[in-house]
Amino acid sequence: MSTQWADTRWPAARTIVLSLAWALVLTLLPLPQSHRTAWAQSGSTEQRLLSALGEAEELYETLDLEMAAERVVDAIELAESVGYSGPALANLYLMMGIIESALGDDNSLVVDAFAAGLAIDQNAELNPYYATPTLRQLFEQATEMVPEQPVGSQTTTTTTTTSPPGQLVQHTPPATIRAGEPVPLVAITEGSFGIDRILLSYRSAGSRAYEHRDLTQVRQGEFVGEIPGGYTEEGIQVEYFLEALGRSNELLEQSGSSSYPHAVIILHEGAAPTPRDRIVTIVAGPGTGGGLATGEPVVMGSDVDLNPGVAITPLHFYLDATFALAGGFELGPFVRLQTVLLTDGVELETILGGKLKWFFTDGEPLRMYLSFGGGWGNVRHTVDLKPTVDFVDTTREGPYHGGIGFGIAYLFNKHVGLVADIYTMVLFDQVSVQLDLNAGILVSF
């Protein structure tokens, strides 16, 4: 086998899972619709599978391929153990094929995984974000391998024990929309079948969090609504999915899903669309902190014997500007301007550097990140020289540093928010450790 999984159980598990899938497919294809929807008595299984799929996608996007493969295999084994054979399982097999393609060069494994997913749900599609030309070609090969299912034998996501013929909700996603215009949506229901409302979930491309609103029922069987124009002002597309819900908020059917939403391309006039909501993020504000005073007093110098100890840095101001990269990363310069309060006036001490931020939660309203930085410049620590001398002096540490930090941003909207940040610096040539506590305003565009 050309690829190596996280440990020795993965090659065997992968073969077993694919074999089980084909056996399941051969069993399910001849059976009537009502038999295969018995799994729907437990909606929690599907939710667990969709959650595992989302985790696998995030791991895939951060290039943790072996852990992504582990998530998918565990989820498939769960589905097989409870007899689940719905669209979520089909999408897990497609994700397995995508991961296989990244792990190695054995295309037969990729085609087998795609074929297993298509045999469960012939309407399953590759995630457009991952669909390279090579994957699309392998997907087409898998399509030719799967026999057509008899009419009425498609699986369904309904959570009731009986399934009406055909789709409960008819919806045609719009292909494009002009920038700044709302996206009109229409959903038609075939009969009632317990549908109480249709929930619209939508987001800008590049955002993880969805906004939610109900469609309006204008007449029996017809629901209308729109995605606000504010979500089409920027970016290359807006994403959404629909959920038909019963009186107890049980899920009856979906058009699209949180993992595989419909995408509407945004048409911009006179400018190329941007792939993210946030291209540049600027943060500015005050800060305070403290660290180890290890240098000589700046004014008194060697006239005073100062032992190293903890000292404060009462006030500084900082400004950073980062540019969005792939995978939740942002990179850019920063400046730290420290105000040094002396008995005879105020001095300024500057640090210039750069930071790489990784947003491990990138939704709205909360974004959390780790930061890694470095730069040039000194930190001044305030020291009281009593009782040796009745004088308040400062020490100077640096001028080089490397640092690591953690921050939380709370967004009021897509472009404005507040940030709280901790940044720890290890300074040298004059060795010291400094902890900065920062708070500021965030503006992104």
User: Using one digit for the tens of pLDDT, what is the confidence trace for 164-189?
Assistant: 434 678 898 888 888 889 999 999 88
Domain 9-145 indexed as CATH 1.25.40 = yes
- Which of 117-121, 308-312, 417-421 shows the lowest per-residue confidence on average (mean pLDDT)? 117-121
* pLDDT score for 206: 65
Q: What is the pLDDT of residue 193?
A: 64
Give pLDDT, residue 34.
Answer: 31
Overall residue count recorded for the chain in this entry: 445
Q: What is the mean pLDDT of residues 237-262?
A: 87
Residue whose C-alpha is closest to residue 93's, from 133, 43, 42, 145: 145
* Model confidence band, residue 275 (pLDDT cutoffs 50, 70, 90): very low
CATH architecture for residues 280-444:
Beta Barrel (2.40)
Q: Following DSSP, what letter does each residue of 263-328 receive, concatenated?
A: EEEEEPSSS---SSS-SEEEEEEEEEEEEEE-S-BTTTGGGS----EEEEEEEEEEEEEEEE-GGG
Give this prediction's pTM.
0.43
Contact call for residues 363 and 208 (beta carbons, < 8 A): yes
**Least confident window among 120-124, 199-203, 406-410:** 120-124
pLDDT in tens, 201-225: 999 866 778 999 999 999 888 899 9
Mean pLDDT check: name the lowest of 35-39, 125-129, 175-179.
35-39
Residue type at position 54? G
pLDDT exceeds 70 at position 45? yes
Q: How confident is the model at residue 11 (pLDDT cuts 50, 70, 90)?
A: very low
Confidence band (pLDDT; 50, 70, 90) for 364? low
Q: Do domains 169-267 and 280-444 have the same CATH topology?
A: no
Is omega for the bond preceding 261 within 30 degrees of 0, making it cis?
A: no
Q: Is the confidence at residue 414, as pLDDT, over 80?
A: no
Where along the chain do its domains lie? 9-145, 169-267, 280-444
Which range scores top for mean pLDDT: 14-23, 38-47, 158-167, 312-321? 312-321
Q: pLDDT at position 277, please?
A: 55
What are 94's strand-pairing partners? none
Work out the mean pLDDT of the chain and round it to a whole number.
80
Which CATH number applies to 169-267? 2.60.40.10
Mean pLDDT of 314-340: 92
